[in-house]
Structure 1
Amino acid sequence: MTLNDDSFTNWKNREEIAESMIPMIGKLHRERDVTVLLHSRSLVNKSVVSILKTHRFARQIAGEELSVTETLPFLETLVALDLGPSQIDIGMLAATYRADHRGLSVAEFTAEAVAGATGANKIERREPRDVVLYGFGRIGRLVARLLIEKSGSGNGLRLRAIVVRGGGDQDLVKRASLLRRDSVHGQFQGTITVDEANNRIIANGNEITVIYADDPSQVDYTEYGVRNAILIDNTGKWRDREGLSKHLRPGIDKVVLTAPGKGDVPNIVHGVNHDTIKPDEQILSCASCTTNAIVPPLKAMADEYGVLRGHVETVHSFTNDQNLLDNYHKADRRGRSAPLNMVITETGAASAVAKALPDLKAPITGSSIRVPVPDVSIAILSLRLGRETTRAEVLDHLREVSLTSPLKRQIDFTTAPDAVSMDFIGSRHSSIIDAGATKVDGDNAILYLWYDNEFGYSCQVVRVVQHVSGVEYPTYPATGV
């Protein structure tokens, strides 16, 4: 047998193992509301090849590829346990088991690591929480995809309605088509049908009512069977408490804004300050995509090295706020053609840092350049640190943060030497550290942070909504196990 034959046989064996994992992952998700992760990446509804690629990606974080032969025993043990709703990272289970020297079997170690989600300790499956989308543009449709994807267990969040302004003939069909096909993010994973008689879009069995209204005051959501819902405002039309309070109509309990909030509206970056949300808070903001990209690594650096001052330069993909061709715009430069120009503009991300990290006293400045790409941006974060360090130390620290810290869902890490922006379309992290571009000289550090400013940000929005809805289930093993 040749070496190539050996490699091919090994691949087919791993394919077979990954194939055997799919029904176990699906059963845990549907029957017990357990989401199986691999280094913070969900394996629910993933293909054989996707499962194998996710295992291989672990080499960029942990330094070596993770094999399905190593994770399968942990998954088999999970299926046999009396688990309650939770998220369980089999990559972390494998890594922590490897570092454990007590001589426990995989079954014994796993049972101990997830004990908080088993038997008398497990939490009850919660009733679905209604969600309404106000606006159905770039972020609205991606949030809809995520909500539909996460409704597979029948629990958690349930997208009940979308509010839009009337668009004329075939409006419902056209909006359904925009949800079905996306030029950047590809095809919707599932089936979408249109029920024009009842103004509904049915996506993977989820019946979503489309409500036509020009103003929040025109809608009584209880008429559509919506109760105690969280409304996600994707329009950005109202950004202060007074304006957003217009959404607190019958059937709506809380309002989440997908833009930076003004005044006393809390700006929340999940993973950093979501625990500060007061239970009775009805109005909050998920800040901006750029704020979500820079705040987690900024916190990671400040916690370890201290930060005296910083500047962020954002090279940002163009957005729908800009013109396709030169035309009038109220802003100074955004009227110039977005696909043809680099456009200097402002960013509020630097000032928003203070809301998300109030303990960070370092001044942070910022500016932005819009460039002719439709998605994925990069933030260049230049920091003056509180002590001198080395490039190797910084990279080791950030790699570890992306693997084991409470920020592992926000911060990703890549060592790919030829990485470019298109490689990060669909990333569910809010920030990806580019190891190869990182520069450190004494107490000066420059971090290059990729981020899918559409999808990665939408994932952060959904995490905040899960948290305030009470359906954000605990993750095991806990950090430090």
Structure 2
Amino acid sequence: MVVRPSVDDYFGDWKAREALAQQMIPMIGMLEHKKGVQTFLYGRALNNRSTADIMKSHRRIREVARNELSEFESHPVLEAMCKLNLSSSQIDLGKLTVKYMGLCESQAHKPDINEFVEKELAHLIDADYKPVEKPTDVVLYGFGRIGRLLTRLLLEQTGNGQVMRLRAVVVRKSGEGDLVKRVNLLRNDSVHGPFEGTVRVDEENSRIIANGNIIHFIYSDGPDTLDYTEYDIHDALIIDNTGKWRDEEGLSLHLKSKGVSKVMLTAPGKGDLKNIVSGINHDMITPEDKIISAASCTTNAIAPILKLINERYGVVHGHVETVHAYTNDQNLIDNYHKADRRGRSAALNMVLTETGAATAVAKAVPELQGKLTGNAVRVPVANVSMAILSLTLENESTREDINEFIRNIALHSPIQNQIGYTESPDAVSSDFVGMREAATLDATATKAQGKNTILYLWYDNEFSYSSQVVRMVSKMAGVNYLTYPENEDLNI
């Protein structure tokens, strides 16, 4: 590992790194908009990030990967990337830089950085390659909590518009000024903050222009009577985030509308619907699939780590307890609800309720069929939840071994986007608002004794899940990037 000299002038060091991070922003933007290159730092996207975000991403890698990666090292590598005629691709700048740092440490003479980068990225240079044959039109059916977050994420990932574009939102008209009210909910969110960008409202044409993207708002009382081709929308992927229809029969109504090709449900599917967790069983998606489910937020949070733990240690049985933020399904104050306890005030009570996530995991990880039970406690916080996994394993483990195993997975595996890792002794739920990983292991809380272990996983039940859905949309649309490192899909 390359060790930089200790810093005496902390402020000067900060300002120098800040200046480099500022210089990186237009370079990252140029790579995206002119060449279709997405830049990552150990799995975290750097596109559309602020100076502070870029610096924090570097800091996270130094803490979790325990190396000396900083802007001083990554900036010249990024400069070298910009000199190349790169094809549309996804490049992990962090891993490319660390490989160069290791080479500098092991060799007597520092290798030429331009030659190194050109050699490492040779498979991406002058390649006549597109990640998808034609851009996919995406339509949101519903515009609630998840729908609005999906809007933010899809717009953020529009890039040069050659992969996926959000074209329309379908809702039921609720009264005068409907469009303005919906847009105001998009612009400002009490949990996730302001929308990053600009939104113009064109009420006359029932559409908005968000970050330059024209998005039609279509008012309809049903999914089967629409003609999307009237809006120049073709072969659309519908993301149904209403939860009203959860089986194949109900969701097939979307396919009766003109201009629709495929449907994705943002809730657990019923019957024989494929329940897909990105990073775990996404390879089950085939070009012939017309309807799939993205499972639930909790299933997405727990399935990746449960699969890993089962593969390494073997799971005999276990219990999943979720400490879950309240949702719109509950009441602000006591009122009738068809489900037990959920009629009681969400803001004033801890509400013991059920979760289907423990059994639903088996749809993504069949080896765990019948091995898990589950319950949930809804608590008075607006967002971010915790899953507590109490597991009996086939093989003994230690706290240190489990934590190190998960830490390495979070940094160096094909599912690094699904799993985060923190050793912060003061971490609390609000620290994880806006996290994009499906779940983050709180390593300081891990318990292990013999064959018994307890793991504590944080997850943003809104944003983490929405990030997983967008990864699924990419897979269902058939998007397939060239990558560095090779064969490491940064979009899972």
* TM-score, normalised relative to structure 2: 0.94
Stretch moving more, 144-153 or 285-294: 144-153
Matched, 1:131 2:134: no
Matched, 1:61 2:75: no
SS at match of 2:395: strand
Distance 2:29 2:214 in 1: 22
Stretch moving more, 11-20 or 354-363: 354-363
SS at match of 1:359: helix
Stretch moving more, 58-67 or 121-130: 121-130
Corresponding residue for 2:458?
450
Per the TM alignment, residue 457 of structure 1 is displaced from its structure 2 partner at its CA by: 0.5
Stretch moving more, 335-344 or 109-118: 109-118
Distance 2:91 2:421 in 1: 21
Taking the TM superposition and a 5 Å limit, the aligned residue runs for 1:64-463 are: 64-100=67-103, 101=106, 105-120=112-127, 122-123=129-130, 126-248=133-255, 249-361=257-369, 363-463=371-471
Stretch moving more, 213-222 or 194-203: 213-222
Corresponding residue for 1:464?
472
Name the CA shift for 1:251/1:403 in 2 (closer, same or farther; >3 Å): same
Distance 2:439 2:131 in 1: 33
Contact 2:132 2:478 in 1 (8 A): no
Contact 1:57 1:65 in 2 (8 A): no
Per the TM alignment, residue 74 of structure 1 is displaced from its structure 2 partner at its CA by: 1.8
Q: Match of 1:10, as an amino acid?
A: D
Distance 1:365 1:95 in 2: 42
Per the TM alignment, residue 267 of structure 1 is displaced from its structure 2 partner at its CA by: 0.5
Stretch moving more, 33-42 or 133-142: 33-42
Which digits, 9 at most, give the CA deviation of each residue in 1:394-439, with x for residues without a partner? 1111000000101101001011110000000010111001010111
Name the CA shift for 1:474/1:322 in 2 (closer, same or farther; >3 Å): farther
Name the CA shift for 1:34/1:364 in 2 (closer, same or farther; >3 Å): same
- 1:478 is aligned, of 474, 481, 486, to 486
Name the CA shift for 1:472/1:189 in 2 (closer, same or farther; >3 Å): farther
Per the TM alignment, residue 5 of structure 1 is displaced from its structure 2 partner at its CA by: 7.8
- 1:43 is aligned, of 21, 42, 46, to 46
* TM-score, normalised relative to structure 1: 0.96
Stretch moving more, 431-440 or 297-306: 297-306
Q: Match of 1:22, as an amino acid?
A: I
Corresponding residue for 1:9?
12
Per the TM alignment, residue 111 of structure 1 is displaced from its structure 2 partner at its CA by: 3.2
Which digits, 9 at most, give the CA deviation of each residue in 1:61-100, with x for residues without a partner? 2124521011112211211222112111111112333445
Distance 1:330 1:446 in 2: 33
Distance 1:400 1:109 in 2: 26
Name the CA shift for 1:324/1:361 in 2 (closer, same or farther; >3 Å): closer
Which digits, 9 at most, give the CA deviation of each residue in 1:327-366, with x for residues without a partner? 0011111111111110011111111111101234561111
Distance 1:96 1:385 in 2: 36
Per the TM alignment, residue 476 of structure 1 is displaced from its structure 2 partner at its CA by: 1.5
Per the TM alignment, residue 303 of structure 1 is displaced from its structure 2 partner at its CA by: 1.8
Name the CA shift for 1:375/1:148 in 2 (closer, same or farther; >3 Å): same
Contact 1:116 1:122 in 2 (8 A): no
SS at match of 1:218: coil
Distance 2:370 2:468 in 1: 25
Q: Match of 1:422, as an amino acid?
A: S
Contact 2:87 2:127 in 1 (8 A): no
Name the CA shift for 1:480/1:226 in 2 (closer, same or farther; >3 Å): closer
Per the TM alignment, residue 151 of structure 1 is displaced from its structure 2 partner at its CA by: 1.1
Stretch moving more, 108-117 or 179-188: 108-117
Per the TM alignment, residue 128 of structure 1 is displaced from its structure 2 partner at its CA by: 2.0
Q: Match of 1:200, as an amino acid?
A: R
Contact 1:133 1:232 in 2 (8 A): yes
Distance 2:209 2:348 in 1: 38
Distance 2:328 2:444 in 1: 32
Distance 1:124 1:436 in 2: 40
Contact 2:359 2:370 in 1 (8 A): no
Name the CA shift for 1:112/1:346 in 2 (closer, same or farther; >3 Å): farther
Contact 1:426 1:452 in 2 (8 A): yes
Percent of aligned positions that are identical: 56
Q: What is the RMSD of the two structures over their aligned residues, measured on CA atoms?
A: 1.9
SS at match of 2:275: coil
Q: Match of 1:317, as an amino acid?
A: A
Contact 2:318 2:391 in 1 (8 A): yes
